[in-house]
């Protein structure tokens, strides 16, 4: 039992830095893309149209997911 616990701690200590770095990279990319999107919306001529279209798109995806619609696979 002790060997199993030691192995889990060893595995955790090896993989934890990789998870932290990976999470940081993903968050950095999401922040960068979010700021670029916000800048594009601010510069657009009709920002309400863009945000409304985005809301409709999210709503349609949620509705189709709730209904259980699946895309065809090849």
pLDDT at 15: 87
Task: Assess if residue 73 is contained within a domain.
Answer: no
Residue 72 lies in a domain: no
What's the confidence (pLDDT) of residue 30? 97
pLDDT (tens digit per residue) in 20-52: 999 999 999 999 999 999 999 889 888 889 889
Q: How many domains does the chain have?
A: 1
Tokens of 59: 């709503």
What's the CA dihedral at 49, 55, 60, 63 to 10 degrees?
-150
The answer to whether residue 46 is domain-embedded is yes
Residue 28 belongs to a domain = yes
Q: Is residue 52 part of a domain?
A: yes
Q: Dihedral sign for Cα 35, 36, 38, 39, please.
A: positive
The band of 3, judged by pLDDT with boundaries at 50, 70 and 90, is low
Confidence tier at 71 by pLDDT (50, 70, 90): confident
């Amino acid at each position: 039992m002790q060997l199993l616990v030691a192995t889990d701690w060893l595995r955790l200590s090896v993989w934890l830095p990789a998870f932290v770095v990976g999470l940081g990279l993903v968050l950095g990319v999401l922040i960068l893309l979010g700021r670029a999107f916000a800048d594009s919306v601010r510069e657009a001529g009709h920002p309400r149209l863009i945000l409304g279209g985005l809301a409709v798109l999210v709503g349609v995806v949620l509705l189709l997911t709730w209904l259980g619609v699946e895309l065809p696979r090849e």
